[in-house]
Amino acid sequence: MSRTVTVIAIDGPSGSGKSSVSKAVAARLGLAYLDTGAMYRAATVWSMETADLDDPASVATAVRAMPLVMGLDPEAPGVELDGRDVAVPIRSTEVTTNVSKVASNLEVRAELKRLQREIIDQETSTVRAVQARGRGIVAEGRDITTVVAPDADVRVLLTASEEARLRRRSLEVHGAADAGAVEATKDQVLRRDRDDAKVTQFQVAADGVVTVDSSDLDFEQTVDAVLAVVAQAQAATSRA
């Protein structure tokens, strides 16, 4: 009997388009969507409110007690902390600037990895009494193909040239991609990737991970390229 593809893991550097592409792929395939970066961002908001960001032990303790609820609907993926919608605050410049500090805390990584695996297992469980959906999930984030879900059915590294990534993030954040706007975006893209690369590997595809380079593709073409990788994996599992 053929098995359907249920876990799709997508990682890649800042500005590669992994969030919007992952959401669109999940929506097209009727799967849940998990933004692991949003979990690190929520952990940053929570730590800024309840811990000392310069004290790794206090940050780790805060994150272990974090009352986080992740919404998994790709059309409206919410993030709640203690019943409060934090979808907007987690995207603030202050959080974007500080998130690598929290994400490089190994105790925080261990706790979020545990939560992420729990969510993926729930969404792929076939035990109906435990989980009503069990349809599968698209999970995206820096270490998802290598550490969190190395056994995912499909693993994609979504990448793009530095120039393309800076241009996209600049348009997203400043609404323009002139020289000044691109320069102002460099910290968010290049410095953050450099800091994140100290604890996660997302620049080069690991064994078995398919690279999709979106430098010369528009959004729809990138979504189609990822869907093609999924279809190929689906065909391979059906033959097996």
Report yes or no: 159 and 214 within 8 Å, Cβ to Cβ. yes
Q: Contact letters (x/-) for ligand DC, 144-183, by CB under 6 A?
A: x---------------------------------------
Report yes or no: 136 and 32 within 8 Å, Cβ to Cβ. yes
The reply to whether 16 sits near ligand DC by the rule CB under 6 A is no
The reply to whether 100 sits near ligand DC by the rule CB under 6 A is yes
- By C-beta, is 80 or 237 nearer to ligand DC? 80
Instruction: Compute the least distance from the CB of residue 70 to ligand DC, in Å.
Output: 13
- By C-beta, is 6 or 200 nearer to ligand DC? 200
Round to whole Å and give the CA distance between 171 and 177. 5
| Distances from the Cα of 2 to the Cα of 118, 229, 234, angstroms | 25, 17, 9
The reply to whether 40 sits near ligand DC by the rule CB under 6 A is yes
First to last CA, the chain: 9
Binding residue (CB under 6 A) for ligand DC from 16, 22, 36, 146: 36
| Distances from the Cα of 114 to the Cα of 33, 103, 139, 195, angstroms | 17, 14, 14, 22
The reply to whether 103 sits near ligand DC by the rule CB under 6 A is yes
The reply to whether 23 sits near ligand DC by the rule CB under 6 A is no
The reply to whether 143 sits near ligand DC by the rule CB under 6 A is yes
- By C-beta, is 33 or 40 nearer to ligand DC? 40
Binding residue (CB under 6 A) for ligand DC from 170, 185, 200, 214: 200
Show the tokens assigned to 72: 């998994």
Spell 184-217 as b/e; 16+ CB within 10 A means b. Answer: ebeebbbebbeebeeebbbeebeeebbebbbeeb
Give the interface with ligand DC as residue ranges (CB under 6 A).
14, 36-37, 40-41, 99-100, 103, 141-144, 192, 196, 200
